[in-house]
Amino acid sequence: MNRFQKRHTMNSLKNKSFIFSFVLIAAFLFGCSSAKETNQTFSQDDIVQAINNSRWTFTANTASPSYGSFRNLTAGYFITCRKDTLISALPYFGKLNSASGALQGNPLDFKSTNFTLTKEDKKGGGWIVTINRPDQEVQSMMFTFFDNGNAQLSVVMTNRTGISFSGRVTPITPKA
């Protein structure tokens, strides 16, 4: 093989490698992009009414543990507030600070009627909603709800490190 053939073969391999890398990156980005929600969109008035009436659902899209890396979440992780009932189905990633919490399982997977909820308007629009649960592993959950439906959640725990979530808040609609 002469020099020209070697150079041509090397350039061809570089081009194939570049194309393969491009396709691989494009497939990765397409796969990691969040799917468009097919649910109906809600107006700002719908969100305001839901928060004022304590009838909303927070759907988590990402988790950010105190220790470890940021994680994208699949569908199905949520917290639902219906005035006197709180249902949480969120994952937990973090560290255990005390052995007393080791046998409790996932502290963010529960249904409770024993909680207090406070709301305050946020400067520049939105709300801060705080949920406290006495004598539980989850001490408090602080939600920041924005007018456009975006939401943040910060969870403080007794025997474990905290965790934060980002997602959306939507009103609970009456069943037809």
Alpha helices of the chain — where are they, by DSSP H?
A: 3-32, 44-52
- pLDDT tens sequence across 68-95: 888 999 889 999 999 899 999 999 988 8
Query: Among candidates 51, 90, 89, which has minimal Cα distance to 170?
Result: 51
Q: What is the pLDDT of residues 103-138, one digit of tens each?
A: 678 889 999 999 999 999 888 888 999 999 877 888
